[in-house]
Amino acid sequence: MLQRIRDRSTSWGAKIIIGAVIATMALFGVDSLVGLLSSGGDDVATVNGQSITRQQVEMEVQRAIRSGQVPPEQERQLRGQVLDQLIRTSLLDQYAEKGGLHLSESQLDNLIVTLPEFQDQEGNFSRELFKNRLASAGYTPLAFRAQLRDDMQRQQLQQGLSASEFMLDDEQQQLAALQNQTRRYRYQQLDASDLAEAPQVSEADLEAYYQDHRDDYQRPEQVRLAYLVLDRSELADQVEVDEAQLRSLYAERASEAERRVSHIMLTFGDQRSREEAVARLEKVEQRLAAGESFASLAQEVSDDTSTSDSGGDLGVISRGFFGEAFENAVYSLDQGQVSDIVETDNGLHLLKVTEIEIPSFEDLRGELRDQAALADVDDLFNERVQQLIDESFAADDLASIASDVGVELQTSDWVSADGAEGVLAEPGVMDAAFTQDVLEEGFNSEVIELDEDRRLVLRVRDHRPATTLALDEVRERVSAAVERLKVQQALTSLAKERVAALRDGSAQVADWQQVESATRQNGGDVPAAVNALAFRLPNPEGEAPVYGQTAVQNGVALVALDAVQEGEASDATESRVAQLVERLRAQAAVSGLLEQLRNDAEIERL
């Protein structure tokens, strides 16, 4: 979402009312905002003394997983990438702040309310879209504003760097012509089956490769753990909930559910008095009582021309949109009921609830049962948490605590600080396992709050330090790596021989795969390395092809370049090339700046 915002937000419009954005912040609740801003976390790195916390890393990791950008099984690798990115952005943010780059609050407000991501079909800012899209991406409004401000300041910095670069017209035309160039070539892929015999792997080969790649066979410091997880939901599974509780909860939800509403509105003032408007609506009430259709009366009587043709339909509403009197009337009605006359700033209304947007009781039964059961075990859960805290502090094991608290004692296999899975991979768990008290002194850990419904305590059962695995322990991995390397080396030698033979005419290849009119960007189904080589080879002289070779996945490819068709520089291509070069030069400028900032910075990974 932020990338789309960056792409579209290149200019600032007129000043808008700040309150339109501030009002939406209330939809998320103050507690969540305070929690976000005040929750502490252990530092994982510092950049020129500025902390990057574990919480920051975890928030970005979970946002990436929640948005579907990264599958959950890649969570561990993602953490390292996220930390690297946070270090880079911290360097850029510090540089931008030092350089005096700034966005005002009004600029941010204007940007947010004009973003298409937050606009309804009529192009108006929608609080509902704003709320839902931020929530789905894992942002509160304040966090989103802070992220957006930082992103836009970085964009200002990049635009400033790219604006300092330029390209001559002749250069632009030459690049455009090269961009439109096409090439005709042939290629053949060689794999292990093309070798006369498979390469032999000796013990000496294994030993040499192992010694050269010892860092690839490191085993990190590891522990085996015993742990207990106290889960509120497991306590709730044991609770009996009666039907009356479920019906009561359903009624509460229905009373606050969104409603589809139609209205008949009469204004008063210049054309009619309030008394006249009341009298007319009273007649409408009589006609409704006599059985006439609300929709047809809305079309006939209502002064709201924007809804009268659709039977007075206002769409689905929720609290906070139409004022207290209007909403109190709507939320006092059941489906199909019509209100008494309601007065608002716009006029007088008769309101009808045409639909209450809530699933059926049976569809919600399971969810309602969980809600009731969780509420019923609040006190029991808090008691068990305190019991877990008290007993784990004094006990010399976890087995007795498991029995007392009524949870299962679980154990892990060998696991490293960054190699945990499941509940052990949650924030703070492995940190606790490697503290001095737990790892060296053998104590139980403090009780870790995983979330509002789960608590965990752990104990180290066994420990082994980091080490380089012996060759015998990784022999299969080393043997496979050496075999792949030797096959690739043999194929490279074979390819060189065939290319030499093709060049001097002493050999021919019959089974070429032909490629016509390939472009730099599109070689069809051709491996990317093959197409790239075809555009690196020099232009053929006369009818003689130009030959080359390149590594591809699981082998080597021979390439024969037959012809080059020079491209023409069109205005459209020149424009695209200019934009591409601008982006590349901007990236190079930012990369160069980052390298300098990194070299000058004090960066400590903790």
Spatial distance between the Cα atoms of 529 and 551, rounded to a whole number of angstroms: 7
Q: How many CB atoms neighbour CB 288 within 10 A?
A: 16
**pLDDT the model gives residue 581:** 64
Helix (H/G/I), strand (E/B), else coil: 72 = helix
Helix (H/G/I), strand (E/B), else coil: 464 = strand
Walk across the sheet containing 259-266 and list its strands: 313-317, 259-266, 347-356, 342-344
- Which residues of the chain have a pLDDT value below 50? 1-41
Spatial distance between the Cα atoms of 545 and 502, rounded to a whole number of angstroms: 9
Q: Indicate yes or no: pTM above 0.85.
A: no
**pLDDT the model gives residue 579:** 62
Spatial distance between the Cα atoms of 227 and 438, rounded to a whole number of angstroms: 12
Pairing of strands 410-411, 222-231: antiparallel
- Nearest CA to 228 out of 454, 561, 10, 494 is that of 454
Spatial distance between the Cα atoms of 426 and 449, rounded to a whole number of angstroms: 10
**pLDDT the model gives residue 161:** 66
**pLDDT the model gives residue 166:** 53
Is 263:298 a contact under the CB 8 Å cutoff? yes
Q: What angle, rounded to 10 degrees, do the helices at 141-163 and 105-114 form?
A: 100
Spatial distance between the Cα atoms of 457 and 451, rounded to a whole number of angstroms: 13
pLDDT digits (tens, 9 = 90+) for 460-519: 999 999 999 999 999 999 999 999 999 999 999 999 999 999 998 887 877 899 999 888
**pLDDT the model gives residue 7:** 42
Cα-to-chain-centroid distance, residue 271: 56
Cα-to-chain-centroid distance, residue 272: 56
Spatial distance between the Cα atoms of 283 and 276, rounded to a whole number of angstroms: 11
- Nearest CA to 127 out of 30, 33, 29, 20 is that of 20
